[in-house]
A and B are shown apart, each in its own frame.
Chain A
Amino acid sequence: MFQQLVTIVPWNFVAAICNLLIQMWLIKKFLFKPVQKVLAQRQQMADAQIADAEKARTEAEAMRTDYEQRLAEAKEEAAQLVQSATRTAQLRGEEIVRQAQADAASIKTKADADIAQQRKKAINEVKDEIGGIAMDIASKVVEREIDPKVHQDLIDEFIRNVGDAS
């Protein structure tokens, strides 16, 4: 037994509508729901990973900033250290030079004083010598003893005259 070739059978018509609706429900339940769930989960995971990466990047950025700041601080500190060391060294050097100059000056002064004293001493010795010689000469001349104590004035005058002459 066959249906007619081109006809609409009411029961088949109704069954087709019901079947399509049931099929729609089945496809939704067994294909779309599970797959969409998995896709949503994957999306969520990807979002989470992106968020994590963003967070890590922000942290790295903060760390970098911090590190750069510290580096700058360290550099500044080093520069300060060098500067202060330089200044100290300079001051020290200046002090040493000043000390050396002072020492030199004092040595020179002392040397001058020594020289002057030596000179004075030498002059005095020479004076005594000359006095003695003069006395010898004079005693030879007058043929008698000249007492240095008695004739001190005479000797002094003589020496003065010699000193003036020289």
Chain B
Amino acid sequence: MDVTINGAPIYTIPIGPGIPISATIVSSWIVMLLITGLCIWLTHDLKVTNISKRQAAAEYLVNLATSFVRGNMGVRFDSFIPFVAALFSTSLVSNLLSLVGLWSPTADLSVEAAWAVMVFILITRAKIRSGGLGGYLKGFTEPIFVLTPFNILSEIATPISMACRHFGNILSGTVISALLYAALSLASHALFGLIPGAVGDLLSQIPFLSVGIPAFTGLYFDWFSGFMQAFIFCMLTTLYIANAAGEE
């Protein structure tokens, strides 16, 4: 039995010669629709007093995002709250999208690389704002000039490590799921193949063992890991930017 683990499927839109479109992009749109739909559903019919549970949830989310950003970055970075909230929700929903059998956009390194580059730009912008362009460039030669290449390397390592950490965790979950399904399917085949005759042949084709056990591993690899990676990515984003901006 072969186990293949592929990248994002590429669909073809049947217009003219056929436009190729990656499952990553399709799934991203689904993620955006889900998040935006949730936001609109949560915030319709808002009231000042006597609020519904739905509104309480919306207010809780807003307060959570606000306190997360303020806790990690301080009050002066309030403009980052929507960015961090978007980053977290997109990452989380993307990670969890694999639960319903759709392609998870975060299983494509392009997406994490894009986010990491955006964070890198924000970090650099914060550094230049706090120390000026000269100060930013001078920072690479500290503490001594010889260390300049290493400083540049460490600067570039930040987005790469962020992207690869997130991607690696999601990919490893996918790989382990695929291996587990394959293994359970083989085990099922072997187990029910012991039954003699046509009944055994028929039953051995159905991977009975694949039902149940992956749900428990999925609890960790999909739910926990998906949540943790979104959280870690946002945590690092806020901390790096706040650190880059320095003290007030």
- Whether the pair B28, A16 counts as a contact (CB closer than 8 A) is yes
CB distance from B172 to the nearest CB of A (A): 12
Main secondary structure of the interface of B (DSSP, over half): helix
Is there a chain B Cβ closer than 8 Å to A111's Cβ?
Answer: no
Give the number of residue pairs across the A-B interface with Cβ within 8 Å: 142
B6 touches A5 (CB 8 A): yes
Tell yes or no: B137 within 8 A of A by CB.
no
CB-contact partner of B32 in A3, A14, A23, A39, under 8 A = A23
Contact A7 B110 (CB under 8 A): yes
Q: How many residues of A contact B (CB 8 A)?
A: 38
Residues of chain A within 8 A (CB-CB) of B35 are: 23, 26-27
Q: Spot the interface stretch: A28-36, A59-67, A133-141.
A: A28-36
A24: nearest chain-B partner, CB-CB: B86
A23 touches B89 (CB 8 A): yes
Neighbour of A12 across the interface among B32, B55, B83, B108, CB < 8 A = B108
List 16 interface pairs A-B (beta carbons < 8 Å), by A numbering: A5-B7, A7-B7, A8-B110, A12-B108, A13-B113, A14-B114, A16-B111, A20-B87, A20-B114, A23-B36, A24-B86, A26-B39, A27-B85, A30-B40, A32-B82, A35-B58
- A3-B8, A15-B25, A23-B32 are known contacts; what are 9 more A-B pairs with Cβ within 8 Å? A16-B24, A20-B114, A20-B115, A23-B89, A26-B86, A30-B36, A30-B39, A31-B85, A32-B81
